[in-house]
Structure 1
Amino acid sequence: MTTPYRCPNCKTNRSRFNLIKQIPLAVKMDPQTGNIMEEYAQDELSPFHTPYNGPDVKVQCAACGLIEDEKTFVKFGEMK
C-alpha cells in the first residue's frame, strides 16, 4: 500500500480513508434457525464449500463514505 489513493466518487479526497480488512469465516448454518452448526478452517473445507477468493482489503472514503476494492482507489490515485 505505497501507492496514492483518490476517491472515484467525490474525486477530491486523497488523504482520508478507512482500510477494511476482510477476514472470512467459513461456516455451515442451520437453514431454519440461522444458527452456526459448524466452523471450518480454510484448509479443511468440506467438498461443497468454495473457499473465499475476494479481496483482502476494501477501502472506504472517509469524506463521502464510498466503499470499493482497493484497486479502484489506486487507479484513480494514478490519474492527475
Structure 2
Amino acid sequence: MPTPYRCPNCKTNKTRFNFIKQVPEFVKVDPETGEVLEIYDNTQLDPFHLPYNGPDIKIQCAVCGLIEDEKMFAKFGESSIQ
C-alpha cells in the first residue's frame, strides 16, 4: 500500500519528490591510482568485502533538496494525516 510523504525539512512539501534508486557496484581499486582492478558479483564477494546493506531507495524533496531515507519522509507523512 502506498505511503504518503512529507518533507521533514521544509515541512510543507507533500507532493514533489525524486526517487533515487541505489544500485551498488562492488569493485576493487588500485590504492595508488584509483583504477578499478576488479568488479565483483554480489554473490562472489571476497571475505574482506562486505555486501551493501543500505536502503534500496532514497527520497529527495524536490522543493528544498533534502535527501533522506524513505522511512523519514514516510514517518513525517503519517504524522500529517492525524
**TM-score relative to the length of structure 1:** 0.98
Counterpart for residue 45 of structure 2: 45
Residue 36 of structure 1: how far off its partner (Å): 0.3
Match in the other structure for 2:58: 58
What is the alpha-carbon distance in structure 2 between the residues aligned to residue 47 and residue 79 of structure 1?
Answer: 43
* Runs of at least 5 residues in structure 2 that lack an aligned partner in the other structure: none
Aligned partner of 2:6 in structure 1 is 6
Over residues 31-73 of structure 1, what are the superposed CA-to-partner deviations in whole Å (9 max), with x where a residue is unaligned? Answer: 0000000000000000110000000000000000000000000
Question: Taking every aligned residue pair, what percent have the same amino acid on both sides?
Answer: 68
Q: Which amino acid aligns with 1:68?
A: E
Q: Greater helix share, 1 or 2? A: 2
* Structure 1 spans left out of the alignment, 5+ residues: none
Count of aligned positions: 80
| Residue equivalent to 1:29 | 29
Task: Tell me the equivalent position of 1:71.
Answer: 71
